[in-house]
Structure 1
Amino acid sequence: MTQPPKDSLLEATILAQAEAVGPEKSICPSEVARALAPEDWRPLMTATRRAAMRLQAAGRIAILRKGKPVTAEDVRGVIRLRIIP
């Protein structure tokens, strides 16, 4: 990937994937990064996590750690993203 995707594309992809699995399931941020850059997805992980935090602050998604919602301050390590119905 020559340029990183715009924040709006990251957010739209997170929402689309989370909506596709529904509120009972969650997605991994790496799924979003891989959808946008299948061959070079790792550099997108920080931007993807930041986009998820913006969506959480807007009340659109929940960020989960060990299956439980966490605040932006507690986001570290492995997380999952779930749409809020």
Structure 2
Amino acid sequence: MEAVILEIIGKLPAGKSVSSEEVARAAEPEHWQRLTGHVRATARGLARQGRITVLRHNKPADPDTFKGVYRLRLPTDDERAAALAKAAETPDIELETPGENQ
């Protein structure tokens, strides 16, 4: 699921976002509803690492507390720095710098 999310948002123009439904449909077109929980969990992990931004009402949301309908996009430099700083304070979150594992 991580690869699907990163592939889809990586193709978007800067500042554009994608819905969780679009990600689930890309991964499994016929039975996408079963994947919505997996999309959310994966998105939370990627957002904690600073690799994506979760949006609620078109504003960045805390990946640990957001609820309801959300969208995903690539983070701005400021959002990535904030996510990495928060992750550094939490020892169980794995940090990844841009360009790693690509």
Note whether the superposition's TM-score is higher than 0.5: yes
Relative CO higher for 1 or 2, CA cutoff 8 Å, sep ≥ 6?
Answer: 1
- C-alpha distance in structure 1 between counterparts of 2:33 and 2:56, whole Å: 20
The aligned length equals 76
- Cα-Cα RMSD: 1.1
Structure 1: which 4+ aligned runs deviate by more than 4 Å?
Answer: none
Is 2:36 the counterpart of 1:36?
Answer: no
**Structure 2 length-normalised TM:** 0.70
Q: Deviations along 1:34-69, whole A, 9 cap, x unmatched? A: 011111100100000100000001100000000000
Is the 1:26–1:80 contact (alpha carbons within 8 Å) kept by the matching residues of 2? yes
Q: Which has the larger radius of gyration?
A: 2
Is the 2:19–2:70 contact (alpha carbons within 8 Å) kept by the matching residues of 1? yes
Structure-2 residue corresponding to 1:57:
48
**Structure 1 length-normalised TM:** 0.83
Unaligned runs of 5+ in 1: 1-9
